[in-house]
A and B are shown apart, each in its own frame.
Chain A
Amino acid sequence: MNAAYQLLIEPFRYPFMTRALMELLMLGALAGTVGVLILLRRLAFMTDALTHTVFPGVVIGYLLAGEGGIFAGALVAGMATALLLTALTRHPAVSEDAALAVLLTSFFAVGVVLVSRESGYTADLTAFLFGRILTVTSGQLVQTFAVAGAVLVVLAVLRRPLLVTTFDRIGAQAAGYRVGLLDLVTNGIVALVVVASVRAVGTMLVIALLIVPAATGRVLSDRLPVIAVAAALLGASAGWIGLAVSYDVSLHHGLRLASGATVVLVLIAVYGVALGGGAVWRQLAGRRAAHPGSVHEASVMTGDVGVR
């Protein structure tokens, strides 16, 4: 008990750690929830492309207006990506995955080239790639809170049309939903979350916050509300544990661990445990359901359906 207190509560006596924790809790919960949408729409590659393409925006914003320009720069780059991608995939000879790969690397490289003009280039690049969670300011917290509120409201209001479009695109179209507009909203939400997370956890690790909690939730259940709640809780708690572990190891064991990356490894570990637990559970359930005809039901009940 005392050890748990030492690990999980004690580090957050410092204001900078408290702010980092609040930022990660908000981002974890937000990214976990939005991650369910990404999981259902199979947008993992698009999300990864976005995390790379906001990078030049971050750099340009920083060069033009300092720390304050990062958010705006990332936002512009995110929106530019969404537009370019839509235009590119309409081209008959360009497949979506090739377009994504070319866009992602070209945008990212523009960022690298611009950063490399600066002196102290490597330190800046690292900060942009992996974020500076420990230097989060109160202003940033307010910003994150506003983004989280806006995204959650949009998700709540558009819940029905978004779900209908996800599971039955043609049906949704026939029912009069504006499917193209809903696609744009989906991409916009993902872009907004990526942009909001960039300064804290960096462009490279946002992808884990967006994908892994939802995938873990999917392993645990096949009911959407359960997945969404589980993903939000997982995202937030992994942020907490990762931050605490990286603090503890760095301070008491002389082994410096990057906080953002530690959070990701905690997420992956939880995912691995869920996968293993799911497999064991399935084995047990399979043995119990010995009579013919129940095999399919057993696999559905343990969440072994489709998306993982």
Chain B
Amino acid sequence: MTPIQAAMIEAALLGAVGGLISVQVVVRRLPFFTLAMTHATFPGVVLAALAGLNLYLGAGAFGVLIVLGVLLLSRRPDHDTTTAIGIVLSGGFALGVVLMSSRDGFTKDLTAYTVGQILTVGPPDLIAVAAVGLLVTALLVVAGPRLSFRAFDPVGYAAAGHRPALLDLALLLTIEAVIVVAVPAVGAILAVAVLVAPAAIARLWTHNIVAMTVLAVLAAVGCGVAGVWISTRYDVAAGGTITVATGVAFAASLLATAGSRVNLRRPPAPSRRGPPPRE
């Protein structure tokens, strides 16, 4: 298997996994949380690298701690989550940078962790992504309907006797697992593109959650493979190219669906600004 083939397979697998989970991220309105998690996972990656541990184990263990912390914080009724997330995000990232800067070869490694190096992935990375893919699939098969119920009617979900905290924990841990396997390929900063953009693209074409998931997976796999191909053809950073490809796909979908049936079926969203008061 040549590095480019491995990178292609990694991009396709990661696209499929990211596409599957991204629908949950978007319907639960977790993009900012995901962004914070990607940044906060970064010191875990650095610590694992410094201690010579397995990257996935180190980052995964650190990530679990962060998930638990965020869950605890978000249970406080008086908490403004965006500020708390912003603090976790910048703190985690700075910690990672300080840890890295104490070491030789600082800038090169830092680049690998922030924007990824998909051309260096090997069979262990592919196996890790595939394993997380199974985890995501299992979650969606076992708890898919419940996740939708919880997303669209949280009060009803609790009233029906389910335990939202347990389901949230499962979802957040799964998201963290996807982040951990995405970091070597696309880096800590761009991982959020894998976890949000596919569903944002699919959301423009359909309202059906199953169709959305299928579309998201297709879009993500396509963008991943196209990104790797373009990056090797023109010798540019692969993680960046994959992300730009998803951005272009989003923009194209936006233009293609402008004024289409899907958007007209709903009344326009109430403008937050509202019409100016009549004199």
Interface residues of A (CB under 8 A from B): 39, 42-45, 47-48, 52, 88, 90-95, 97-102, 104-113, 115-117, 121-123, 125-126, 129-130, 170, 173-174, 179-180, 183, 204-205, 207-208, 211-212, 215, 255-258, 260-262, 264-265, 268, 271, 304-308
Contact = CB atoms under 8 A, between A and B. Distances in A.
| Most A C-beta atoms less than 10 A away, residue of B94, B101, B240, B243 | B94
B83 A110 contact: no
Nearest to A88: B254
Nearest to A107: B247
A129 B114 contact: yes
A31 to B, nearest CB: 12
23 contacts: A42-B80, A44-B32, A45-B32, A45-B82, A48-B89, A92-B268, A93-B262, A102-B247, A109-B247, A112-B240, A113-B237, A121-B111, A122-B107, A129-B110, A204-B97, A205-B90, A207-B86, A208-B91, A257-B98, A260-B97, A265-B94, A305-B78, A308-B83
Given A101-B200, A262-B98, A265-B95, A95 B262 contact: no
A122 B101 contact: no
Contact of B244 (A110, A122, A123, A308): A110
Given A94-B200, A261-B101, A108 B246 contact: no
A305 B78 CA distance: 6
B35 interface: yes
A261 B90 CA distance: 9
| Most B C-beta atoms less than 10 A away, residue of A93, A304, A306, A308 | A93
B247 A106 contact: yes
Interface in B72-109: 78-80, 82-87, 89-91, 93-95, 97-98, 100-102, 106-108
Interface residues of B, number: 68
Contact of A92 (B114, B193, B196, B263): B263
B242 to A, nearest CB: 8
B80 A261 contact: no
Nearest to B279: A176
Given A113-B241, A173-B277, A105 B192 contact: yes
Given A125-B111, A126-B107, A179-B273, A100 B31 contact: yes
Chain B interface, DSSP helix/strand/loop, else mixed:
helix
Nearest to B234: A117
B185 interface: no
Shortest beta-carbon contacts, A-B, top 6: A106-B247, A109-B243, A112-B240, A264-B94, A208-B90, A116-B237
B102 A108 contact: no
Given A44-B82, A106-B193, A257-B98, A112 B239 contact: yes
Contacts of A208: 87, 90-91, 94
B34 interface: yes
A109 B193 CA distance: 10
Contacts, number: 218
Given A207-B90, A258-B100, 16 more contacts: A42-B83, A45-B85, A48-B35, A99-B200, A101-B193, A101-B196, A112-B243, A113-B237, A125-B115, A173-B276, A208-B94, A255-B102, A257-B102, A262-B94, A307-B80, A308-B83
A110 B240 CA distance: 7
Chain A interface, DSSP helix/strand/loop, else mixed:
helix
A117 B257 CA distance: 34
A81 to B, nearest CB: 13
B163 interface: no
Interface of B: 26, 29, 31-32, 34-35, 78-80, 82-87, 89-91, 93-95, 97-98, 100-102, 106-108, 110-111, 114-115, 189-190, 192-193, 196-197, 199-200, 203-204, 235-237, 239-244, 246-248, 250, 254, 257, 262-263, 266, 268-269, 271, 273-274, 276-277
A264 B95 CA distance: 8
A93 B26 CA distance: 11
| Most A C-beta atoms less than 10 A away, residue of B100, B106, B200 | B200
Contacts of A170: 274
Given A261-B94, A268-B91, A180 B83 contact: no
A102 B196 contact: yes
Nearest to B101: A258
B200 A102 contact: yes
Given A215-B87, A265-B94, A106 B243 contact: yes
Contacts of B91: 208, 212, 264-265, 268
A109 B271 contact: no
B115 A93 contact: no
Nearest to A203: B189
| Most B C-beta atoms less than 10 A away, residue of A97, A256, A260, A262 | A97
A205 B196 contact: no
A101 B102 contact: no
Contact of B86 (A48, A106, A304): A48
Contacts of A304: 78
B35 to A, nearest CB: 6
A100 B26 CA distance: 12
A237 to B, nearest CB: 17
